[in-house]
Structures are given as C-alpha cells and as structure tokens.
C-alpha cells in the first residue's frame, strides 16, 4: 500500500464493560481459530478501503454532520461467515435506527466520490478469524449495548499483525 493512503473504516467501538462481556462469550465459544484481541473488537459501519490521507478531513466533516442515534442493540446471536472463515456475535433483530444512521453515513461518504464496500451489511462483532468449521453452540446471556459514538479508524497491517488507530470519534 502506498504511504500516502490509509485503509479506513467507520465503526462502533465497545466500551470496557461490553468488551469484557464479549471476551467472556469468546472464551466460552472456544472456537478453533484466532480469537480477535479485546482491543480490536468492533462493529464495522462502513469499510472504505485504501483512501488518500488528503481525504481524511472530508470524511471527518461527513462524520461531524451526523448525530449518533439513541439506540440499543441486543447481541444475542452467534453466527459465522464460512467464506471469510469468521465467527461473530450479532443481533437476531434488525437494528432499524442504526441501519438508518448507517445509510446517512454512506450517503455522506458517497457524496465525496468514495465508494464504500457494497456488500450487504450484517451488523456483527467478529470474535474469531481463520475458522475451519462452524463453532459449537453455547448458552450465554444476551449482551445489551447502547453505542453512543462512532469512530473513523485506520487499519494498519504489518506481517501477521493488525492494529487499529482511531482517527476521530463522534
């Protein structure tokens, strides 16, 4: 990747309490794969891919124009994406307010002639990567989450490591 670009995405970031609860579910799931580190757990709203550093202020302005809705999520469903080989925790109910917020975010991004990932959005938090088979079923108490802010994040890869740098929070 060129040094004048950054791999960016908008995401919801769990607070310390929820992160701890997510790790507890992750440990109980005990899937055969790589667990996502607690600090990296998030829910992607829009993956943008490689973007010129010069465009970051424009993306920040889009974010500043939005108001995070007062909505709650119940994370009560474990699933997996076989192609991506990841297991995740999501909601069995469609989060309408969050979906509308995401739609507004995507609209602002597209006005900048930036094309976010077009795949259908399945709100989830990835718990494990590199799974070879569907994880077993576990009983767990549904996790309640009322996200109050969203972030613009840079994904930084080096060899087999990934780390995230939060550029802004709104």
Confidence label for 2 from pLDDT (cuts 50, 70 and 90): low
Question: Once rounded to an integer, what is the mean pLDDT over residues 17-24?
Answer: 98
pLDDT-wise least confident of 35-44, 96-105, 108-117, 158-167: 158-167
Q: What is the pTM of this model?
A: 0.94
Alpha helix stretches (DSSP H) within 35-168: 56-64, 96-111
Look at the domain 5-169 and name its fold.
Answer: Cyclic Phosphodiesterase; Chain: A, (3.90.1140)
Q: Which two tokens stand for residue 162?
A: 């990934």
Q: Where are the domains of the chain?
A: 5-169
pLDDT at 137 over 70: yes
Q: Average pLDDT over the chain, rounded to whole? A: 95
Cα diameter, the chain:
47
Query: Phi and psi dihedrals of 109, rounded to 5?
Result: -65, -45
**% the chain with pLDDT above 90:** 88
Residue-wise pLDDT tens digits, 24-81: 999 999 888 999 999 999 999 999 999 999 999 999 999 999 999 999 999 999 999 9
Confidence label for 1 from pLDDT (cuts 50, 70 and 90): low
Confidence label for 132 from pLDDT (cuts 50, 70 and 90): confident
Query: Phi and psi dihedrals of 168, rounded to 5?
Result: -160, 155
């Amino acid at each position: 990747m060129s040094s004048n670009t950054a791999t960016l995405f908008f995401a919801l970031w769990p607070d310390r309490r929820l992160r701890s609860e997510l790790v507890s579910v992750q440990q109980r799931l005990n899937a055969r794969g790589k667990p996502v580190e607690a600090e990296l757990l998030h829910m992607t709203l829009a993956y943008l891919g490689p973007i010129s550093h010069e465009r970051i202020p424009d993306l920040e302005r889009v974010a500043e124009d939005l108001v995070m809705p007062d909505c709650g999520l119940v994370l009560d469903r474990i699933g997996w994406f076989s192609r991506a080989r990841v297991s995740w925790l999501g909601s069995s109910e469609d989060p309408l307010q969050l979906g509308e917020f995401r739609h507004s975010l995507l609209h602002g991004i597209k006005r900048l002639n930036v094309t976010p990932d077009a795949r259908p959005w399945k709100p989830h938090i990835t718990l494990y990567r590199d799974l070879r088979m569907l994880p077993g079923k576990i009983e767990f108490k549904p996790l309640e989450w009322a996200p109050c802010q969203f972030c613009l994040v840079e994904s930084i890869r080096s060899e087999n490591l990934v780390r995230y740098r939060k550029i802004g929070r709104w």
